[in-house]
Structure 1
Amino acid sequence: MSDDTSTDDPSSSIDTKEEDPNLEATDVDEVGTANTMRERSGETKLKVWLFLEGNRLVVTGLLGLLVFGAFVFGGTFFYQYLLTDALTADTVETVFSTMIAAIITGVTLTLTISQIVISQENGPLGDQHQRMSDTMDFREYTEQIIGSPTPADPSAFLRALILETKEYGRQLRETVVESDDEALRGEVAEFSESLIGNADAAAEKLEGRSFGDYDVLSAALDFNYSWKIYQVERIADDHQDVLPSETADVLGELKTVLSMFGPAREHVKTLYFQWELISLSQNILYLSVPALIVAGFVTTYLGGSSLVGETLGVSNLVWVVSGSFATTSLPFLLLISYVARIATVAKRTLDIGPFILRDSQY
């Protein structure tokens, strides 16, 4: 994620390391980082799956089952109250009449979101020309860095930049082999090993992926470029008196590639957000039709007195009301699942560049 990780300002470690001898040792120990965002953040696999990795439709279905189960449980233990209200106070009809209004409001909100996303693509010819010019300038500069035509596919584009950093990581390690400074060799070796391992993991995850798949953005988030930029700057500053000129040159080139990866990732993230919001709008529209039909059917035709008897020890009224409420809740639950992912990614990528806003090296 944006490489938004530590609650401490990275630059302060350079200013204060002479006052605190333990700080430099801490920085050296943290030169290398884990290869995935989840490992660096310390989050559980379940939490990461629910908020990020899991298919949004599957997550929505699980939330729907949770709502259904909660209603069945509540209806089973409080059945007499539900039955009395259903027969005398038209509770069922009132609940689903409210759901009809909520569904219609939700669809209206969805259409508003779609219009906002689409409006960002509209503009006069001059603005469109400037967007195209900026894009081509960035691609041409990237071509100079990677030494080959810039890939058109977003995943291949990010992969090319990541593999370029891996190559500089190898070169960096080779430039200090004959250095007499043991501390420099140790830090460079650890940093290069971490960089190469992280690049391999991210590149493998990106290979063959198509845009629109969250795995593309996930792999880009796994590559913590901000922490690497900071380490490049720190190594160059800490060892400037003994740094070989070849090593300094490689560090400069590596910093350039990492700095190019930042805006590239942010651009892909922006496109992904737009893609997700449009997909959210489409899916909510699809789910709203059956949800509206179920809510309308229950309100118009289904009375509490018409549902007598039990199935599997649970009142038929509880089964029907629980299933109907879970179904009519699906558009809202889908909104929750999509917004959870978008908000989580946005929070973890608030800044671009070597600013780290969380307690791990993103």
Structure 2
Amino acid sequence: MGSSDRDDPLESSRGDTGDRTDLSTRVREWVLIEGDRLFITISLTLATFVLFFTLNELGVVSFVNEGSVTRVASGLIAGTFSLVTLVVSINQLILSQEFATAGEVRAELEGVTEFRHDLEDRTDVPASPAAPTRILEVLVEAVHHRAADLETAIDGHGDAALEDRVDRYVASVQTSAERLDETLERTSFGTFNAVSALIEYDNDRQVYAARYLRGQYALDLSDEQRGAFDDLTETLRLFDVAQEHFKTTYLQRELTRFSQLTIYSGVPAILAAITIGLLYADIGGASVAVRSLPLLVSALIAVVVSPLALLVSYILRTATVTRRTASVGPMLPQKDPDDRPLEVQSDERDR
């Protein structure tokens, strides 16, 4: 059974962990995923201050006209109130997921317990680890061993094409597993680090390729060989369960933290917007020296923008994580325009 190189499912087409050699890619990944959210928020806030101060120095904007500035201040106050209200709504949505009956809590606990039992059965460990990244390390080791068992089971099959395709598939799986293991060794044991590593691991395509090969050669495989395919597939599927569990936990914690920080920054932002309007409340014009207005108003605008900067930094990461983990299992959309499609073509053997 063959397929074209372009449509070959045996190779992972998504960039694996450790492949980010391009500078622009590394910068993009740092901004979207890896960078500290507070640092990005502060950077955006400082950039706002520098932008408005520079525009004033260049004569593009001016803070002398009290009518214009007070109208802007009114808009900033309304916008900040709206943003804080939006964040409160998000927080309420998160809290609604935390309310559950005793039966729902029991079902959730049983689901987690069942996953841990499956993990222990597949990985031959006495008890599944508690730390998220440690769980992934155990899974990676199990995938590596199951892939080696599959290669051993297929060796000597007699069909050179099947052996070659399985060898290439196993090499791809083990390479991805080794890269993920290297990434996990460099990370701490936090939930986000587990999610960050998981979204780079192309287990969906690996499950698809294993099922594809097993289905195409089903009549030519022994029970032992089919069992080797099934063992690897079931171990890979545990990644999907772990990914969804860690992603849900991460998003709950991240959005809750975002809500807290928005409230903390929202009060100073509203006070700063009110201060901008009060600077021009005097009938004679601004109550501070004209030469000090650009510096003071630019700083106040930056404070007002800080909740928006916080929103941008957090939503960039949560939206990226959600988009990259939007599917469960091999029925997944193409995740990148450069990805090769999942479909495969039949060859003469199927005709």
Does 1:308 find its partner at 2:290? yes
1:26 is paired with a residue whose SS is: coil
Who is 1:237 aligned against?
215
**Superposition pairs of residues 213-228 of structure 1, within 5 angstroms:** 214-228=192-206
Does 1:133 find its partner at 2:110? yes
Q: 1:258 aligns with which of 211, 225, 236?
A: 236
Q: CA RMSD in A?
A: 2.8
Listed one character per residue, the Cα deviations across residues 303-337 of structure 1 (whole Å, up to 9, x for unaligned) are 6462333xxxxxx4222222221121011111111
- The amino acid of 2:70's aligned partner reads E
- The amino acid of 2:62's aligned partner reads L
CA distance, structure 2, for counterparts of residue 42 and residue 342 of structure 1: 23
CA distance, structure 2, for counterparts of residue 195 and residue 30 of structure 1: 9
Pair 268,331 (structure 1): closer, same or farther in 2 beyond 3 Å: same
Identity rate of aligned residues, in percent? 27
Q: Which runs of 5 or more structure 2 residues have no equivalent in the other structure? A: 343-351
Pair 35,132 (structure 1): closer, same or farther in 2 beyond 3 Å: same
- Using structure 1 for the length normalisation, give the TM-score: 0.81
Who is 1:35 aligned against?
16
**Superposition pairs of residues 199-348 of structure 1, within 5 angstroms:** 199-207=177-185, 209-212=188-191, 214-301=192-279, 304=286, 306-309=288-291, 316-348=292-324
CA distance, structure 1, for counterparts of residue 209 and residue 78 of structure 2: 55
- Offset at residue 137 of structure 1 (A): 2.1
Does 1:104 find its partner at 2:81? yes
Pair 199,41 (structure 1): closer, same or farther in 2 beyond 3 Å: farther
Q: Which runs of 5 or more structure 1 residues have no equivalent in the other structure? A: 1-16, 310-315
- Offset at residue 256 of structure 1 (A): 0.8
**Superposition pairs of residues 128-207 of structure 1, within 5 angstroms:** 128-148=105-125, 149-207=127-185
- Offset at residue 353 of structure 1 (A): 0.5
1:160 is paired with a residue whose SS is: helix
Who is 2:26 aligned against?
45
- The amino acid of 2:199's aligned partner reads L
CA distance, structure 1, for counterparts of residue 22 and residue 123 of structure 2: 31
CA distance, structure 2, for counterparts of residue 210 and residue 108 of structure 1: 34
CA distance, structure 1, for counterparts of residue 26 and residue 314 of structure 2: 18
CA distance, structure 1, for counterparts of residue 26 and residue 91 of structure 2: 32
- The amino acid of 1:141's aligned partner reads D
- The amino acid of 1:24's aligned partner reads S
Q: Is the 8 A contact 1:205 1:216 kept in 2?
A: no
Q: Is the 8 A contact 1:64 1:327 kept in 2?
A: yes
Alignment length (residue pairs): 331
- Using structure 2 for the length normalisation, give the TM-score: 0.84
